[in-house]
Amino acid sequence: MASTPNGLARIETHGAKTKKHENGICHDDSSAPVRAQTIDELHSLQRKRSAPTTPIKDGASSPFAAALSEEERQRQQLQSISASLASLTRETGPKVVRGDPARKGEAAAKGAPSPHPQPVHHHHPHVTPTIAVSDSSLKFTHVLYNLSPAELYEQAIKYEKGSFITSTGALATLSGAKTGRSPRDKRIVKDEASAQELWWGKGSPNIEMDEHTFLTNRERAVDYLNSLDKVFVNDQFLNWDTENRIKVRIISARAYHSLFMHNMCIRPTEEELEEFGTPDFTIYNAGQFPCNRYTHYMTSSTSVDINLARREMVILGTQYAGEMKKGLFGVMHYLMPRRGILSLHSGCNMGKQGDVALFFGLSGTGKTTLSTDHNRLLIGDDEHCWSDTGVSNIEGGCYAKCIDLSQEKEPDIWNAIKFGTVLENVVFDEHTREVDYTDKSVTENTRAAYPIEYIPNAKIPCVGPHPKNVILLACDAFGVLPPVSKLNLPQTMYHFISGYTALVAGTEDGIKEPQATFSACFGAAFIMLHPTKYAAMLAEKMQKYGATGWLVNTGWSGGRYGVGKRIRLPYTRKIIDAIHSGELLTANYKKTEVFGLEIPTEIDGIPSEILDPINTWTDKGAYKETLLKLAGLFKKNFEVFANYKIGGDSSLTDKILAAGPNF
């Protein structure tokens, strides 16, 4: 072996001298050097371009793809985004380029052209600009377009304070000062058309604003978004019924918002994105920036504004992501009925024989628990459409409450909280990152947003045939409603419009009393039209397709809260199973007093005495007194709907009123 000048043996690493490696012993672990000259270039080699997720059928490319080069397709896509971000007072939209501004060095290392030489912007054809040049017109806005969950994780963790990866892989994030919706700050433009179509006045959730105020807020939101180095853009769909789906574009400033909507809306394939074109509806989420409180109609620094004519929504002063989800739901409550499609705030599942059931119910009624059934496929947990072809889920994900979540009570939700899921406002161990779902330090309204395919028995695509059963759930803390009642069509309409449940609330002296809660159509905060219009559409579809209505009480029996006991969950599950199987269609029935409900005299596996609530009360006088009290609350709540005529005369309205309590 050769020696070095200092007398030490020279180490040989190449060539024939390293013969020991022929005997299975290798002293040389070197390999060919990487094809990179800089660390940025090395990092660029980690990532390769994504292939389309949808294979082209029959080996042929789509007509759109064949006509356009990739460069031209991206140019048109950016031009569409520039048009969305355009100020209405300037001649052109902002100069937009694709990519993260923090990765400009990586692009150069990879040999890609710099994004700055050829920005894309949109020209207004009929606008006289009031400002010829502005600072925003001199800068570039980088567009992070339809990023994957992994990319959005990186953006959130790097740039958004309060973003962490939990022990199960979910992204924990904070929604800022607002941890719930702001219904008093939500407004809809009242123009000539919406003044006639929408429900306004007493009892309505719709608060009016004028066109000028909307445009003022839109300008504020667009200017804020254009002032940023980058914005997130999601192009997605609503409604799994492909004949009636809506194209939505969400422009936001936070990775949290982009990932939330990635999960909650329907995710397009690469092929569908190529043909996406102009969106049907656009959200401008500038929630980190407040509205101007001196602007007309503004009562706080928060404003959530919808303009149905422009098909736009503007969010200022709240970072709570649920505003986007429920804002779009409200839009669907307007758009779908115009097509003869009923939009519904409900859960939906399907049996092995193709029998579909709709579940309506307010918080605490057991809607999530009862609609999640391992023997049935889940079509969706919250928002649906009922068209002439059947039911379809509006969304592509689930938005579940997390407070007091446990693996034993809600295993499907528990297991869905993994990589890709957004966890809002939860508290976790600073070292292990394990979430404490009982901790309410930030808010009681902790939530998880995840794709629906995270639920093992989800039906993909989320569509089904016409429902056979429409189940209205009520948690009656007064203890006077029967565990189950079969409803005729007018009764179904009456109880659907009422949207009743009872909550238990504490009083100052510590005594807890039931409090009746009514929410029209089981979702009053989101409906656009008068509740009777949705009820009439529901009755029409039930009659046309042979669905049966049911009122199921998951609340108390044998007395009101504090006296009686809550109806056992196994009994309620047996009732739901009997509805699904058709057993209750052939049961014997009798009618109750006051509410006039048809109740079965016998159900297999359930004590017959609990089916009629009067049997479970020891104090019959107290039962009748409480029954009349609840009936009075129903009547008082229904006064706001009593004078509304459906159709050319008031006959249907009269039938609905007659279906309520009589005493």
Q: Would you name the residues annotated as active-site residues?
A: 181, 326, 345, 363, 367-368, 382, 447
Please, is 339 exposed, middle or buried when counting C-beta atoms within 10 Å of its C-beta (0-12, 13-18, 19+)? exposed
Closest by CA to 169, choosing from 403, 457, 448, is 448
Residue 639 Rama label (left phi>0; alpha psi -120 to 50; beta): alpha
Token match 């628990």: residue?
369
DSSP state of 89: T
Adjacent-strand bridge partners of 343: 385
Contact predicate 579/469, CB 8 Å? yes
Residue 512 neighbours by CB under 8 Å, 6+ apart: 504, 505, 506, 561, 562
CB atoms within 10 A of CB 407: 10
Residue 66 Rama label (left phi>0; alpha psi -120 to 50; beta): alpha
Contact predicate 592/463, CB 8 Å? no
Rounded CA-CA distance 661/63 in Å is 60
Rounded CA-CA distance 420/439 in Å is 22
**Helices 620-642 and 489-498 sit at what angle, rounded to 10 degrees?**
80
Cα separation values, 86 from 164, 189, 292, 592, Å: 34, 20, 20, 62
CB atoms within 10 A of CB 522: 27
Contact predicate 155/113, CB 8 Å? no
DSSP state of 592: P
Instruction: Read off the tokens for 45.
Output: 């080699």
DSSP states along 211-249: HHHHHHHHHHHHHHHHHSSEEEEEEEEE-S-TTS-EEEE
Rounded CA-CA distance 198/527 in Å is 9
Closest by CA to 370, choosing from 217, 553, 512, is 553
Contact predicate 417/170, CB 8 Å? yes
Contact predicate 393/503, CB 8 Å? no
**Helix-, strand-, coil-residue percentages of the chain, each rounded to 5:** 30, 20, 45
DSSP states along 603-646: BTTB-GGGGSGGGG-S-HHHHHHHHHHHHHHHHHHHHHHHTPPP
Instruction: Read off the tokens for 508.
Output: 């100052």
Helix/strand/coil for 383: strand
Instruction: Read off the tokens for 438.
Output: 């009982």
Instruction: Read off the tokens for 152.
Output: 């959005």
Instruction: Read off the tokens for 102.
Output: 């923090």
CB atoms within 10 A of CB 294: 6
CB atoms within 10 A of CB 116: 10
**Helices 531-545 and 489-498 sit at what angle, rounded to 10 degrees?**
150
Instruction: Read off the tokens for 495.
Output: 């109880």
474: enclosing H helix or E strand: strand 467-474
